[in-house]
Structure 1
Amino acid sequence: METLQLDTCKLTWLNGGVTHLDGGAMFGVVPKPLWSTKYPNNENNQIELRTDPILVQFEGKNLLIESGIGKGKLNDKQKRNFGVLEESDIAANLEELGLTFEDIDYVLMTHLHFDHACGLTKNVDGQFVSVFPNAKIIASHIEWNEMREPNIRSRNTYWKENWEAIVEQVETFEQEWELGPIKMVHTGGHSDGHAIVVIEDGGQTVVHMADIMPTHAHQNVLWVMAYDDFPMNSISAKQKWLEYGLKKNAWFTFYHDAVYRAVKWNEENKISESINRNRK
């Protein structure tokens, strides 16, 4: 498991599973001859996208950023359509760290699309129950509302199986939510309620832009997904937070990237430091 140690916070990437989605959809209007030089694709034009939560530990607290693709949640058709070749193995990761699901204090959900939220619940004897029974689950107010009342477009990604069992655990925020050095900020863009995570810890900064910059190859502010509900808001938020992070020499961290866990960029937009994903 790859880690990033800050002053008081330690970040550890867990194995939340993997999807393979259409590269054209992931890069929107960007022509394939451009995006394919930045990120590999297979013979079906799909790109590998991890769904790996980040465990953040500080002052005895355990927080997860996102929840993974889950285990036993998807049927064979869904696995085929979403290119799921590997499901979550978070329990084994936590055990290696001396933790269990019950030890998670907070789950920070940047948004609640299925590939981020399937790991929140599990099927036990025909009923869905919470995977993290002692955790507060944090999401923006807008996102939580749409999760429960999706529109004709979003109902394909906001599933009742992922929220009905956690209603009592959810805490929402309007613009920002904070806990110590960790802050969630509502951005919109990818979804109307999308949020990012910013960690300011002892002079070090981490910016987790979630799905407004799902991989390192999406650094160009104009490279946004066809999946984005409000692409101009994605562009605006990406401009703002890239500029913020570059001024701070921040680590930019990823949930979906199959190559890097985190990178720093220099003034020439080249990667100056990186934490690579260990491919076993």
Structure 2
Amino acid sequence: MAEWHLIPSGRVWVDPGGPFGLVPRALWGRTQQANEHGLVPMDLTCMLIFSEGKTILVDTGLGDKLDEKGVRQWNLEYPQGRLLENLAAHGVRPQDVDIVLDTHLHGDHCSGNTTLIDGQLAATFPKAEYWVQRLEFADAMHTNERTRATYLPENYVPLWEQGKLRLLHGDTQVTKEVRCVVTPGHTRAMQCILYEGDPRPLLYVADLTSYAVHMERRAWVTAYDVEPLETIRTKGYWQDWALETQATLVFEHDTTMPVGTLTRTSEGKLKVLAAASAPTED
């Protein structure tokens, strides 16, 4: 038996130029409402999976290391609670997590990997092995002008030094039901998480899309993507797959539709329909 749960870890408010890139306000404004400061919300939704006796956490959000300035810069709030308290609601303590699957090493996805204990950086999940693509780790360790602000060593270097980081070489099976699949574009080696359960598979989309609407529109890519044309190619593959399999899609950043299914309308347009976000068992 396996089951999955969405685990909220916070919400940030960002300039819409980030998630929408070149898409004009006249188009994205039909799908997202900016606040009085012109910012749009993005959730930081992690996922908890129980599979083959393993407790698996997908992504860790912004964590608890931010100072007041960092909280203000991110406009960070917790409308649905924090990561550790939401894990506790499912009976999971930090020491119970066996595997952390980092989709990539941007700060809003992996800052919760580590925490401060008596002023020293330590693994938030002390018994866990943290899995990330080898190329993603290499890019995080050797940044350039474009990527320097998005990769923060305190979120992964201590894990490497402590031997807690497992570097993957491409698509990797985690358990019989769970697999890491490389989805390049947002970064060169971001990975989405595929849960191959019954009656339909589930894909944790990570930053292949910022919102569900990005899955409907292949050409909508974010300003954050380091290889936007690769994002379009990758997204096209997974759009076709989602239509064929009727897969459940988890949108990590979408505040109104965290879970959906991609369909094609009678007019031939792609449309994401809301799906149940309750846990599943098989």
* TM-score, normalised relative to structure 1: 0.91
User: 2:252: which partner in 1?
Assistant: 255
User: 1:191: which partner in 2?
Assistant: 187
User: 1:157 and 1:270 mapped to 2: Cα distance?
Assistant: 31
3-state DSSP class of the match of 1:85? coil
Q: For residue 210 of structure 1, report the CA deviation from its aligned partner.
A: 0.9
3-state DSSP class of the match of 1:79? helix
The answer to whether the aligner puts 1:111 opposite 2:104 as a matched pair is yes
Match among 52, 59, 68 for residue 66 of structure 1 = 59
User: 2:197: which partner in 1?
Assistant: 201
User: 2:164: which partner in 1?
Assistant: 169
User: 1:43 and 1:137 mapped to 2: Cα distance?
Assistant: 39
Q: For residue 173 of structure 1, report the CA deviation from its aligned partner.
A: 1.5
Match among 17, 21, 44 for residue 14 of structure 2 = 21
3-state DSSP class of the match of 1:55? strand
Contact 1:260–1:276 (Cα < 8 Å) also in 2: no
Q: Deviations over 1:238-275 (max 9, x none)?
A: 00011101100001112111112210122212344423
3-state DSSP class of the match of 2:201? strand
Q: Deviations over 1:117-142 (max 9, x none)?
A: 11000111111100011111111111
Match among 76, 82, 89 for residue 89 of structure 1 = 82
AA partner of residue 120 (structure 1): N
Q: For residue 36 of structure 1, report the CA deviation from its aligned partner.
A: 1.2
User: 1:187 and 1:31 mapped to 2: Cα distance?
Assistant: 26
Q: For residue 276 of structure 1, report the CA deviation from its aligned partner.
A: 6.2
Q: Deviations over 1:49-73 (max 9, x none)?
A: 11121001122211111011101x1
Contact 1:24–1:32 (Cα < 8 Å) also in 2: no
Q: For residue 182 of structure 1, report the CA deviation from its aligned partner.
A: 1.1
Contact 1:105–1:135 (Cα < 8 Å) also in 2: yes
User: 1:212: which partner in 2?
Assistant: 208
Query: Which range moved further: 256-265 or 266-275?
Result: 266-275
The answer to whether the aligner puts 1:230 opposite 2:227 as a matched pair is yes
Greater relative contact order (Cα < 8 A, sep 6+): 2
User: 1:227 and 1:271 mapped to 2: Cα distance?
Assistant: 23
User: 2:52 and 2:157 mapped to 1: Cα distance?
Assistant: 31
User: 1:245 and 1:266 mapped to 2: Cα distance?
Assistant: 8
AA partner of residue 26 (structure 1): P
Q: For residue 228 of structure 1, report the CA deviation from its aligned partner.
A: 0.6
User: 2:92 and 2:224 mapped to 1: Cα distance?
Assistant: 35
Contact 1:18–1:51 (Cα < 8 Å) also in 2: yes
3-state DSSP class of the match of 1:236? helix
The answer to whether the aligner puts 1:40 opposite 2:33 as a matched pair is yes
User: 2:88 and 2:20 mapped to 1: Cα distance?
Assistant: 36
User: 1:275: which partner in 2?
Assistant: 276
3-state DSSP class of the match of 1:15? strand
State the Cα RMSD in Å: 1.7
Query: Which range moved further: 200-209 or 51-60?
Result: 200-209
Match among 63, 77, 80 for residue 69 of structure 2 = 77
Query: Which range moved further: 118-127 or 79-88?
Result: 79-88
Q: For residue 156 of structure 1, report the CA deviation from its aligned partner.
A: 0.8
Matches within 5 A, 1:88-167: 89-167=82-160
Unaligned runs of 5+ in 1: 1-7
Contact 2:257–2:274 (Cα < 8 Å) also in 1: no
Mark the CA change 1:41 to 1:141 in structure 2 (over 3 Å): closer, same or farther. Answer: same
Contact 1:188–1:194 (Cα < 8 Å) also in 2: yes
User: 1:12 and 1:221 mapped to 2: Cα distance?
Assistant: 28
Contact 2:205–2:252 (Cα < 8 Å) also in 1: no
3-state DSSP class of the match of 1:17? strand
User: 2:5 and 2:134 mapped to 1: Cα distance?
Assistant: 27
Percent identity over paired residues: 28
Q: For residue 203 of structure 1, report the CA deviation from its aligned partner.
A: 4.0
3-state DSSP class of the match of 2:50? strand
